[in-house]
C-alpha cells in the first residue's frame, strides 16, 4: 500500500531555533495535511495544502506542497517549549479517499 516517509524521525533543538521536517511519498497526493499530536491525545490539524507549489502559513508554522505532488515540508520558526510533540504528515488522493499518514517526527525542545 501507499507509504509516507517522514524525516527526521526525531529532533532535539534549542528553544528559539527554527525547525524543518519533510514528508515524501512514492505516489502522488492531491492534498497534504500536517497534524500535531501530544501524548495521549488525538492529532490536531495544523495546516492543509491543496495545490502543488502552495505555501501556507499558520503563525510560526509554514508548510509547502511540493511541485511533484510527492512531497511536503513543514517549518517551525523560533521554537518554544509547547512545540514539543509528534508531527504527522498525511496525504489524500481525492476528497473521498482515506488519509495516509507518515510515522511522525518527534520534536523535543530544550529550554
86 upstream amide cis, omega within 30 of 0: no
Q: Is 65 in the site for other proteins (CB under 8 A)?
A: no
Restricted to residues 10-39, the positions that interact with other proteins (CB under 8 A) are 33, 35
Nearer to other proteins, 84 or 99 (CB): 99
**Grid coordinates representing 4?**
509516507
Choice from 73, 104, 107, 109 touching other proteins (CB under 8 A): 104
Q: Which residue matches cell numbers 495544523?
A: 46
**Grid coordinates representing 20?**
524543518
In contact, 101 and 88? CB cutoff 8 Å: yes
**Where do contacts with other proteins occur on this chain (CB under 8 A)?**
4, 33, 35, 40-45, 48, 88, 90, 94-96, 98-104
Amino acid at each position: 500500500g501507499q507509504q509516507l516517509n517522514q524525516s527526521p524521525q526525531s529532533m532535539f533543538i534549542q528553544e528559539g531555533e527554527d525547525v524543518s521536517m519533510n514528508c515524501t511519498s512514492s505516489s502522488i497526493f492531491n492534498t497534504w495535511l500536517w497534524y500535531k499530536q501530544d501524548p495521549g491525545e488525538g492529532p490536531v490539524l495544523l495546516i492543509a495544502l491543496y495545490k502543488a507549489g502552495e505555501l501556507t502559513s499558520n503563525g510560526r508554522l509554514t508548510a509547502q506542497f511540493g511541485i511533484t505532488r510527492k512531497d511536503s515540508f513543514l517549518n517551525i520558526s523560533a521554537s518554544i517549549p509547547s512545540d514539543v510533540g509528534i508531527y504527522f504528515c498525511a496525504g489524500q488522493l481525492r476528497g473521498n479517499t482515506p488519509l495516509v499518514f507518515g510515522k511522525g517526527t518527534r520534536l523535543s525542545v530544550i529550554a
